[in-house]
Structure 1
Amino acid sequence: MTDDVGQLFQAALTHQAAGRTRDAEIALGSILAVEPGHAEAIHMLGLLAFLRGDYAVAARLMRHSIALAVQPPTHFWSNLGETCRRIGLMDEALECCRKAVATDPDNASAHLNLGLTLRGSGDPAAAAAAFQDAIRCNPGLWRAHTSRASALAAAGRTDEGIRCLDAASALLGDDPDRLSTAAGTWVELGRPTEAVECYRRALAIRPGDAEILNSLGVLFDRAGRKMAAIEVYGKAIAAAPGLGHLYSNLGNVLRDIGNWPEALAHYRRALELRPDLFVTQSNILFTRLFDPAATGADLLAEARSWEAGRGTPAVRPPPASGPDRRLRVGYVSPDFKEHAVTFFVEPLLRAHDRRRVEVFCYSDTLRPDDTTKRLRALADGWRDTLGVDDARLAEMIRADGIDVLVDLAGHTAGNRLLAMAGRPAPVQVSFILGYGGTTGLSWMDAIVTDAVLTPPGFESHFSEKVIRLPGVFAAFQPRESWPEVFPLPDGPPLLGCFTDPARVDGGQVELWRRVLEAMPDARILFKHASYDSPDMAGHWRRLFGKVADRAIFEGVPGGWGANMDVYGRVTVMLDSWPASSASASVIMLWMGLPVVTLAGGHANQRFTASILTAAGLSDLAAIDGDGYVRLITTLAGDRRRLADLRATLRDRVRNSPLTDAEAYARGVEAAYRALWRDACGA
């Protein structure tokens, strides 16, 4: 390098450090006019392109610089690896990051980039090891500590993650960005108290920071502190009224407290500001399920609008040969953990005939638990996909050769529907149990349901082909730890509703008020984790007006396993409306308690009706509000029938399609086979 070229390169570095990007580019251009093969100058141009977000140009320039260099230095490989990671070229990113580490094993940044790339590739355990190497090289690299703690959480090694983040606390100092990052990691580790403290420290230094306020609101929301979340989101919006995601997050809380009209208004405002907020569009669809006036046709029209403007859908890939060969089936879910959906998913995975299907699970699960471990053991192939972008997830699915890809989330939180837009599998199926409605997406071929959820004529509510299983929409697996059925309690009737209050609207509360007015000695017990928050319990109690003293609200301290005795206190259970319950209703029947439902005009209002029909209790499904009130009051006063149901319900459920996992799995496999044969043209 001549003196003039050296001076120009130093000037470029100075300009870049000072943020004078254009001046840096001019200096680098002058170098290349003299030495067209100057690898460092070309690489730095790539770095400048990276900094302005032009990753494709950055990657091209960085590759060129590596080709020119006799011995590419560590930062060449590391920077190209980071660039490839940003654009989803994960295989190339991993190769580059590994070459960077091999070139300089003591370079902390190289190990950090390798860890980030491994995490993005769905290997949190290997990522944690790479972050540990970064810490070994530079114990003061705070991002390596927080990244390692996050990776350990994703790998199910929570205790190690907590120790890791504790050890890094001194590195956070009074930097709001570091404190906010640490708070997010504490959330991943399931330690909300530490997270709140970090956010409060950050806000003390930078009061009114909308993003930090937003993160605190998300934390309050997840912790059930809905009113506190509403207050914090309000402050964030006041500080930055142009940030669309703030309105979307506030909409989530408003939906959870039953105020779906205001929730929809906030979601739509979010989309006005940020039309690219796909998750908000999913939230609108999910929230419309709680609109009592929405018809199946309304829900389909709203769902189809989600795809509008996204370009031409991908073409279905040709199926691999063999209409009758063993199928590779992939299940995609953010809920492979202790969750309502897994009561139905676990028996299916367990009962699948491995001669007919090979099972892969793509788990987007935050904080894996013991249920995750059980499900992992039931899969032939397991992929941790949390943090993996849509393009990379689609690549993983293609690489696994999946024939039938099954979405278990629909438009609920954490869904990966966009990863399926590229058609990574020849047949793509949605299960109704996770969402309760149509996806509205052209790239989803079929939806698995039953004849009660979707009776004849409901086909017009779905963009997908409707596949009705012969028994019930899903089989259920009771927990062995659950107690025996309790005796029928004496005394005045205590009715119960143990479902998420987000599923309830003012019209349903009015029906419950009518029940209490018709039964002066009765009370209703509402029990759900949401009521662990006193402000949530108070909010719902006030809606009962003059009969509020007979509406009891209880949380679930210690989880449901520690609260199963509540089923011995209640005589009749009440389903939620306008969104019906699934797992909660089966549990009620298993515990000997009849449940009364109001079967509505679309699938999401008919889950309990389907369950009751499978158990031989279709007479407990009303078709209008008057019938609902009449069924409850009549059943609550019929102690002979209540006693008979207590004595027989568990056996009735045990001998019904509700727990016949083998029959359910055969029906599902037959549906997959029929769809596959159609795709093969057989």
Structure 2
Amino acid sequence: ALAPTDGETHYNHGVSLQTLHLRDEALRAYQRALAFAPDLIAADFNIGVILQEQGRTDAAIAAFEQVLARDPRHVLAHKALGDTLLGARRIDDWLRVFARFEASCSHALSLAVQALEVYQYRGDFAGLDRYLDRLRQDDFKPESETDLADSLEQLLFLLLYFDIEQEAHFGLYRAYDAVAQRVHGKPMPLAVRKPGRLRIGYLSGDFRNQVMGKMMWSALQHHDRDRFEIFCYALNKESDEWTDRYRAFADHFENVADVPEREAARRIGADDLDLLVDLSTHTKGAKPGILACKPARVQITHVASAGVLGLSAIDFKLTDQYADVAQNQAFQLETLLPMAGCVYPYRHIAPAPEHPFHRERLKISAEATVIGTFVNPLKLSRRCLSLWREVLERAPGALLAISIQHRRFHPRPAALRRRQRHDRSARYGRARGDLVRQEARRAELIHHPGQSRCDRHSGEER
């Protein structure tokens, strides 16, 4: 080593290791950096990021708190601390640290991202409107280009839950497309096509026991294998019997969850794909930076969410005439490609032969119409609550059963769809929801196995 006692040298070594997802080695490098340069706050922050990625929640929280004790206006530490607490479902602590974030960094763009979730979960629609108005006025500032890209990825997903003008949403798509090229690089050059079957790749974090994984299996299994060579690229390290099913089905299956996005794109590009199908958009575990590099001749996004990625590198959005009306094209970068039928490959689910969800046990009369909906709190918008109120008013005697997996609510933090970014910059109108909630308390255990007890059901948590 040329500078064995220089803290910044060890820090930069840690950044390189962390970029390669060599987390244990990076931790040791940061610890050496702090031994020689105790004031190197960026090393403390990056240690917290690694601990959070390793699932060591308490240690990560302690690391982020240590950063904030030294720098109360450290935006990324505030953001990472809130994301970690929400991911651990420590709701009271999450709300408490958000208040501190709001007081310390009122113009941070990542604050606005968290605020949309906090105010929606609180049911504070006036506060939510204030943040939406400030977003329209461009009143928030990112810490860096990387923070801008991360924050826009989260906003493009979160804003699907709120009523915001299509023009404003389209402006965010264009801003994201521009910054994605600066952060991830321009689209990759492609070689002359090799002979052989048409090569189709699928990029997803849900090749597993998850609603999207099961839904897409219904479509993928019908590929004509004499005409198509199938590649699956997994964005999630989890593996179960559904993963094994995809692995056995595909001609090629590769996990790129821990591969940097540009490198993952290089690997996919080497497979010489004719078509790459995105099944994630900006949902949990997504890596849109791969798609920004355009490692395939044609790229298409499918059914992960109601939105799009907002990338000019995506050629088409597969949809239908109901999921996207023709007028939507004016507000999306991706070209709409409507199918003749339904874009969602729905599958039949047989009722569970045995389950504990019975009307008598839940004190539901035999005459009542039960409507089951599987939601998270973000979906309980004013428009959604008003719709359910109208449904219940038009169907006397009906009751709405809402899935609940937490004593207060079951968060699916948008921020944890993406990994935390480590710090390299140092060196380089209230709706009438009570009716819904009251009915849900009586039937709060109605969940997927009990769908046979519902006369109607809708929605999936994501």
In structure 2, distance between residues paired with 1:478 and 1:358: 27
Paired letter, 2:440? I
In structure 2, distance between residues paired with 1:545 and 1:421: 40
Please give the per-residue CA displacement for 1:590-618, whole angstroms capped at 9, x wherever unaligned: xxxxxxxxxxxxxxxxxxxxxxxxxxxxx
In structure 2, distance between residues paired with 1:332 and 1:388: 13
* 1:72-111 pair list within 5 angstroms: 86=16
In structure 1, distance between residues paired with 2:437 and 2:291: 50
Please give the per-residue CA displacement for 1:480-506, whole angstroms capped at 9, x wherever unaligned: 684489999613344332223322311
CA contact (8 A) 2:317 2:337 kept: yes
Q: Which residue number in structure 2 is paired with residue 571 of structure 1?
A: 455
* 1:16-415 pair list within 5 angstroms: 17=5, 86=16, 120=21, 143=28, 180=48, 183-185=51-53, 187=55, 195-196=57-58, 198-199=59-60, 208=69, 214-238=79-103, 244-254=109-119, 261=129, 264=132, 271-276=141-146, 277-292=148-163, 294-295=165-166, 299-308=169-178, 310=181, 314=187, 317=190, 320=193, 325-415=196-286
Higher-Rg structure is 1
Q: Which residue number in structure 2 is paired with residue 668 of structure 1?
A: none
Identical amino acids, percent of aligned pairs: 21
CA contact (8 A) 1:319 1:403 kept: no
Q: Does 1:501 align with 2:372?
A: no
Please give the per-residue CA displacement for 1:298-323, whole angstroms capped at 9, x wherever unaligned: 5444322321364695376365166x
In structure 1, distance between residues paired with 2:262 and 2:253: 18
CA contact (8 A) 2:310 2:333 kept: yes
In the superposition, the TM-score normalised over structure 2's length comes to: 0.71
Instruction: Sort the Cα spacing of 1:455 and 1:314 in 2 relative to 1 into closer, same or farther, 3 A.
Output: same
In structure 1, distance between residues paired with 2:284 and 2:130: 19
Instruction: Sort the Cα spacing of 1:482 and 1:439 in 2 relative to 1 into closer, same or farther, 3 A.
Output: same
Please give the per-residue CA displacement for 1:512-541, whole angstroms capped at 9, x wherever unaligned: 334445566443222143xx132679xxxx
In structure 1, distance between residues paired with 2:444 and 2:358: 22
User: By how many angstroms is 1:284 displaced?
Assistant: 2.2
Paired letter, 1:229? W
> Looking at both structures, which has the greater relative contact order when contacts are Cα pairs under 8 Å and sequence separation is at least 6?
2
Q: Which residue number in structure 2 is paired with residue 533 of structure 1?
A: 407
Paired letter, 1:317? L
Paired letter, 1:394? A
In structure 1, distance between residues paired with 2:142 and 2:61: 31
Instruction: Sort the Cα spacing of 1:200 and 1:415 in 2 relative to 1 into closer, same or farther, 3 A.
Output: closer
User: By how many angstroms is 1:272 displaced?
Assistant: 4.1
- Structure richer in helix, relative to its length: 1
Please give the per-residue CA displacement for 1:131-172, whole angstroms capped at 9, x wherever unaligned: 7xx9xxxxxx9859xxxxxxxxxxxxxxxxxxxxxxxxxxxx
Instruction: Sort the Cα spacing of 1:240 and 1:438 in 2 relative to 1 into closer, same or farther, 3 A.
Output: closer
CA contact (8 A) 2:404 2:410 kept: no
Instruction: Sort the Cα spacing of 1:301 and 1:214 in 2 relative to 1 into closer, same or farther, 3 A.
Output: closer
Instruction: Sort the Cα spacing of 1:369 and 1:245 in 2 relative to 1 into closer, same or farther, 3 A.
Output: farther
Q: Does 1:544 align with 2:437?
A: no
CA contact (8 A) 1:230 1:250 kept: no
Task: Give unmatched runs, 5+ long, in structure 2.
Answer: 30-42, 360-364, 412-429
* 1:627-642 pair list within 5 angstroms: none
Instruction: Sort the Cα spacing of 1:202 and 1:346 in 2 relative to 1 into closer, same or farther, 3 A.
Output: same
Question: Any idea what SS the aligned residue of 1:351 has?
Answer: coil
In structure 1, distance between residues paired with 2:384 and 2:77: 37
State the aligned residue count: 413
User: By how many angstroms is 1:405 displaced?
Assistant: 1.2
Q: Which residue number in structure 2 is paired with residue 614 of structure 1?
A: none
Match for 2:288 among 417, 431, 447?
417
Q: Which residue number in structure 2 is paired with residue 438 of structure 1?
A: 308
Q: Which residue number in structure 2 is paired with residue 97 of structure 1?
A: none
CA contact (8 A) 1:361 1:381 kept: yes
Instruction: Sort the Cα spacing of 1:266 and 1:347 in 2 relative to 1 into closer, same or farther, 3 A.
Output: farther
User: By how many angstroms is 1:385 displaced?
Assistant: 1.2
Paired letter, 1:544? R
User: By how many angstroms is 1:546 displaced?
Assistant: 6.7
Bigger mean CA deviation after superposition, 281-290 or 368-377? 368-377
CA contact (8 A) 1:257 1:502 kept: no
Task: Give unmatched runs, 5+ long, in structure 1.
Answer: 1-8, 22-47, 54-78, 87-112, 121-126, 135-140, 145-174, 188-193, 576-580, 585-682
Instruction: Sort the Cα spacing of 1:536 and 1:369 in 2 relative to 1 into closer, same or farther, 3 A.
Output: closer
Instruction: Sort the Cα spacing of 1:263 and 1:219 in 2 relative to 1 into closer, same or farther, 3 A.
Output: farther
Question: Any idea what SS the aligned residue of 2:289 has?
Answer: helix
Q: Which residue number in structure 2 is paired with residue 523 of structure 1?
A: 399
Paired letter, 1:534? R
Question: Any idea what SS the aligned residue of 2:211 has?
Answer: coil
User: By how many angstroms is 1:396 displaced?
Assistant: 0.4
In the superposition, the TM-score normalised over structure 1's length comes to: 0.51
User: By how many angstroms is 1:395 displaced?
Assistant: 0.9
Paired letter, 1:465? T
Match for 1:512 among 360, 371, 388?
388
Q: Which residue number in structure 2 is paired with residue 645 of structure 1?
A: none
In structure 1, distance between residues paired with 2:46 and 2:168: 45
User: By how many angstroms is 1:199 displaced?
Assistant: 4.8
CA contact (8 A) 1:285 1:299 kept: yes
Instruction: Sort the Cα spacing of 1:223 and 1:520 in 2 relative to 1 into closer, same or farther, 3 A.
Output: farther
CA contact (8 A) 2:376 2:409 kept: no
Instruction: Sort the Cα spacing of 1:300 and 1:178 in 2 relative to 1 into closer, same or farther, 3 A.
Output: closer
Instruction: Sort the Cα spacing of 1:335 and 1:536 in 2 relative to 1 into closer, same or farther, 3 A.
Output: closer
Cα RMSD after superposing both structures: 4.5
Instruction: Sort the Cα spacing of 1:368 and 1:269 in 2 relative to 1 into closer, same or farther, 3 A.
Output: farther
User: By how many angstroms is 1:404 displaced?
Assistant: 1.1
Paired letter, 2:158? T
Instruction: Sort the Cα spacing of 1:215 and 1:421 in 2 relative to 1 into closer, same or farther, 3 A.
Output: closer
